[in-house]
Chain A
Amino acid sequence: MLAKRIIPCLDVAGGRVVKGKKFKNIQDVADPVKLAKRYNQAGADELVFYDITASNEGRDIFLDVVESVAAEIAIPFTVGGGIRTLEDIHRVLRAGADKVSLNSAAITNPSLIKESALKFGSQCIVLSIDAKQTEQYKWDVYLNGGRKHAKLDAVEWAKQGEALGAGEIVINAIHTDGEQLGYDLNLIHLIASSVSIPIVASGGAGSINDFLEVLKPGLADAALAASVFHYNDIPIPQLKKHLYNKGIEIRSERI
């Protein structure tokens, strides 16, 4: 049986891992390669790197980081942030990434999903959706790091992304991001039951129980988090052991 995945997420700016709250108050945390190695050893199932710098110089530094990470770890990793063209995708895959995560560029140019899925395969195209709750059972999509309202319904956008060829969907709940009060289970459930590709839940993990809840049947296939892992509030081995004991299918490395 396929194992549920635990995915630490590293926001990278100027070659360093940083962390904010509700997409603001960015603080320096660590060296990305060192942190990636630590997570690899701790049993993370996958890693995600977001390039949150916008400049061209920042972009080249980031590609160096991707290559250094690929040299040090032997687990899959996804790269996102500022990816706008097929050439951008080609560059990060060549640097050693396994998947790319498309966000704002896919909203302004949905054909990017289709073209990239045809060229590189659906398995490496991840659609990342930043969603914010606007009514009790309604979530809207935002772009440009949560700053701009996209006038798109999150569930509809997820369905469209799947139809265009995305192989996986990451749901970042802006309203729960950095709050450590748990994932938005209603949103995750709604999207998981609307598409048939894997769902990665993001935004809000604060306790081991939050992971247990979001990985239950009918919800997420993977859980992504940043702060709780960066500051070691939740050590990954302990988290995975707990999930395993609660009957969640989890990968262990007994070698």
Chain B
Amino acid sequence: MIAIIDYGAGNMKSLQFALNRKGLECCVTTEKKQILNSTAMILPGVGAFQDAMTTLKQKDLINTIKDETTKGKPLLGICLGMQLFYETSEEDGEWEGFGLLKGKVSRINYTVKVPHIGWNTLHMQRSSSICQNIPNNAFVYYVHSYAVKEYAYNSLVASTAYGGTIPAIVQQDHIIGMQFHPEKSGNVGLQLLANFGEMIS
């Protein structure tokens, strides 16, 4: 059972439906016990960085998620969920994230329309099982105004071009981040979720 961690983010129904369609069981939860008993965790997207961190703190889930990750449980962060992995964010102030990965979150360059909304490509930077059966330059659906910068280069699996290089898929061992919404990215997105499902032992 995959635990989708509910921190008050918007549309989680689409993610549940998408996982179910790939035969992956999931539940939406804030219960510690359910997270401890889960086989993998997903931090979904949509919302503001500060709100998300505050809610997770209030529900006392940050250490639970970190501890489970340290023990080797697969963790997928989607959109804002991925950004929460990093040390800090400049979204409406200066906020501390989980610090699971090195890097910070800042606004997309002012040279392009923000938010970055729509179908954009995945440029593969290195091979990873998470991208199995995904062709180079496949299109996925993005909706975001902030992006990860100053990240560890060896964590970059795929990027996209929008006012500079934006990390699209990052990975450090069993921690995976996707800046786009796989649950809204057609068959490509469903395949990526299935690949994440394969990481669950």
Chain B, interface size category, equals 35 or more
The answer for the CA separation of A5 and B113 in the assembled complex, in Å, is 16
**B143 x A74 contact (CB < 8 A):** no
Chain B 1-42 per-residue mask, 1 if CB under 8 angstroms from chain A, else 0: 000000000110110011001000000000000000000000
**A94 x B13 contact (CB < 8 A):** yes
- Judged by a CB distance under 8 angstroms, whether A103 is at the interface is no
Inside 8 A of B21's CB, which chain A residues have their CB?
74
Inside 8 A of B13's CB, which chain A residues have their CB?
67, 70, 94-96
Chain A 121-134 per-residue mask, 1 if CB under 8 angstroms from chain B, else 0: 11110000000000
Interface centre among B139, B183, B186 (most CB of A within 10 A): B186
In the complex, the number of residue pairs spanning A and B with C-beta atoms less than 8 Å apart equals 90
Closest Cβ neighbor of A197 among chain B residues: B113
The answer for the CA separation of A76 and B10 in the assembled complex, in Å, is 14
Closest Cβ neighbor of B136 among chain A residues: A254
**A40 x B14 contact (CB < 8 A):** no
Inside 8 A of B156's CB, which chain A residues have their CB?
none
**B46 x A121 contact (CB < 8 A):** yes
B15 to chain A: closest CB distance in Å?
A: 10
Chain A 1-21 per-residue mask, 1 if CB under 8 angstroms from chain B, else 0: 111010000000000000000
**B141 x A167 contact (CB < 8 A):** no
Partner of B17, one of A96, A121, A122: A96
**A93 x B11 contact (CB < 8 A):** yes
A123 touching B11 in the complex, CB below 8 Å, given contacts A74-B183, A255-B188: no
Chain A, interface size category, equals 35 or more
Chain B 128-146 per-residue mask, 1 if CB under 8 angstroms from chain A, else 0: 0000011100110101010
- Judged by a CB distance under 8 angstroms, whether A75 is at the interface is yes
A-side binding surface: helix, strand, loop or mixed? loop
Partner of B190, one of A74, A123, A252, A254: A74
Residues of chain B in range 97-143 having any CB-CB distance to chain A below 8 Å: 113, 115-121, 133-135, 138-139, 141, 143
Residues of chain A in range 88-131 having any CB-CB distance to chain B below 8 Å: 93-98, 120-124
**B139 x A221 contact (CB < 8 A):** no
**A3 x B120 contact (CB < 8 A):** yes
**B117 x A198 contact (CB < 8 A):** yes
B49 to chain A: closest CB distance in Å?
A: 12
- The chain A residues found within 8 Å of chain B, CB to CB, are 1-3, 5, 40, 45, 67, 70-72, 74-76, 93-98, 120-124, 167-168, 196-198, 221, 251-255
Q: List 15 A-B contacts (CB under 8 A).
A: A2-B116, A3-B118, A5-B119, A72-B17, A74-B17, A74-B18, A76-B141, A93-B11, A96-B11, A96-B14, A96-B17, A120-B10, A124-B10, A196-B113, A255-B134
7 closest Cβ pairs, A-B complex = A251-B139, A3-B119, A251-B119, A96-B13, A2-B118, A71-B17, A123-B143
